[in-house]
Structure 1
Amino acid sequence: MSVRLSPKNRKMSADKKGRVARFIDLPEFNVFIFAVLLNYPWEFLQAPLYRGMATADHWYGVKICTRATLGDGVIMLIAFWAVAAVSRSRWWLLRPDRRQVAGLVAVGVAITILFERLATSSVHPGWGWRYADAMPLLPGTEVGLSPLAQWIILPPLAIWFVRRQLETRAPQLKSDNE
């Protein structure tokens, strides 16, 4: 049995698809999605480097890693927007230069250092974390090397994926949105 749409309903359906396509084509949407996809496995792999995570209840570990991953996605968006502001274009990632990639990494690393320092020194119950003895630390900072490596390795990889995702539509996207 097939459903027939009236011309008015077909137009509304096409309009909805157009809005969804425009949303999916936004650089911010793609930056967030690829940041989440790349950071989620990293969070699980580094979990044993945080106190109590190696022996934590499964569901608790999933919730903690999910929350951390969503935070990573937000940090990536902030870093992306910082570079976009300096570059004066949200579409810089279609042809990123080394300075832009370095800027993205630098903003991500700076935010990570700030959050790691705040979280590992927090005395508030229910907020913060502690490193396990297995976590290597950046000398003189008391910041874990794993979260720093995460923000050096994953942002360029995320930009590579975003660029690949958007470049087939790049001419149309740039003319529609700049």
Structure 2
Amino acid sequence: MFGAPEADIAVTAFLLHLVWEFWQAPWYQGMSDMPHLQGILLCSRAAFGDAFIALLAYGTLAAYTRDRYWAAKASPSQVAGYVGVGLAVTIVLEWLATAVLDRWQYAASMPTVPLLGTGLAPLLQWLIVPLAVLGWIRRVWNLRR
């Protein structure tokens, strides 16, 4: 797509996470009543953060495998590592944002995971979207060959 695997990951992750952020917005307090433009900007900022987490997870696996294109032929354990890094970062950030820094709160309709207190939507986001990112990237890179 863009020549550098990191750029491919960042752009794809941003776009797919942006869709997810809009979808899950009603499960966050205040999002339903927020002015439209403010909601778009907030979801966009969150998607940029998600893209950064995706790059961190991708870079972690690239360093571990010593291969910047590891996703083209990723093993199940590499995919699990990528998803695991993203999940771990998300759990910590969600906890900081909701319990420590009071950056946002879940709406009453958001199911939370017992013990963690993390919303189900952001956890599912980091199980589903990274797999879609890797699937898309693998397809694009293999078409390039």
Taking structure 1 as the reference length, the TM-score comes to 0.78
One-letter code aligned to 2:33: T
| Structure 1 residue ranges (4+ consecutive) displaced by more than 2 angstroms after TM superposition | none
What residue in structure 1 maps to residue 108 of structure 2? 133
- What residue in structure 2 maps to residue 60 of structure 1? 38
Q: Which amino acid aligns with 1:42?
A: W
Aligned match of 1:69: 47
Structure 2: give runs of 5+ residues left out of the alignment: none
Q: Which has the larger radius of gyration?
A: 1
1:123 CA displacement: 4.3
Query: 1:25·1:166 contact (CA, 8 Å) conserved in 2?
Result: no
Aligned length: 145
- C-alpha deviation, 1:29, in angstroms: 0.7
Measured on the aligned residues, the alpha-carbon RMSD in Å equals 1.2
Task: Provide the rounded CA distance (Å) in 2 between the counterparts of 1:115 and 1:99.
Answer: 24
**Alignment match, 1:83:** 61
Q: 1:117 aligns with which of 95, 115, 127?
A: 95
Higher relative contact order (CA 8 A, sep 6+): 2
What percent identity do the matched residue pairs reach?
A: 41
Q: Which amino acid aligns with 2:81?
A: G
Per-residue CA distance 1:76-103 (angstroms, 9 max, x = gap): 0000001111111111111111001000
1:35 aligned partner, one-letter code: A
Q: Does 1:37 align with 2:15?
A: yes
Partner residue in 1 for 2:141: 166
CA distance in 1, matches of 2:122, 2:33: 20
Aligned mate of 1:152, from 105, 127, 131: 127
The CA deviation at 1:162 is: 0.8
- Structure 1 residues 123 and 152: alpha-carbon distance in aligned structure 2, compared to 1, 3 A threshold: closer
Pairing partner for 1:102 from 75, 80, 83: 80
The answer for unaligned runs of 5 or more in structure 1 is 1-20, 171-178
Cα separation, 2, equivalents of 1:99 and 1:136: 29
